[in-house]
Structure 1
Amino acid sequence: MREVKRPVFSFRLNLDNPDHKKAWEILQSVPDGQKSSYLVQVILKDQENNQLEKSIRQAIREELAGVSISGSGESVSKKEEIPSQMLDFLSGLEDAF
């Protein structure tokens, strides 16, 4: 039977850097044997958050495309009400957090 080689990754922290120091303190609080799983979850969650941020930015851009701003600083929407798709999206965000 062939042995499967597991990838190994190591990194060095600079404890003079406040962000590195805080990350080290957090990692130290993770129980031994769970650090790899913890780091995997953090990386995946960060990716998910980035995708969510992109989706939110796109939705805002699309909504702002339908808004004009007058010289007085007041915004006047081309539509009178908030589209149901936007309400559903915002509701979904509320459930996610």
Structure 2
Amino acid sequence: MSSLQLYQLVALVLLCVGLYGFIWRRSLVGMLICLELMLNGAGLSIVAASQHTSADAVLGQLGALLVMGLAAAEATLVLAIVLVVTRRFKTSESIRVSELKG
């Protein structure tokens, strides 16, 4: 197994763990953490592919920085939404919020 395959396997594991946690988590903050895991897996995959292929390594690092910037912006927005939902519905569990919707 080459090192590129190993890095891609680790990125896939991060993505799968994040997806599993995103589906099965009940709290909104836990879902946010799992989403961050998925984005970290994508960033690792971009960097590994650029390091081990004919693409320029700097472009892969810039791509990973873009993913990290998007993740930071997404985390800021989602945490603001979680604060508003928690203040309004007095809970941060996604199932309870969807039940209170009507």
Name the TM-score, length of structure 2 as normaliser.
0.39
Greater strand share, 1 or 2? 1
Higher helix share: 2
Structure-1-length-normalised TM-score: 0.40
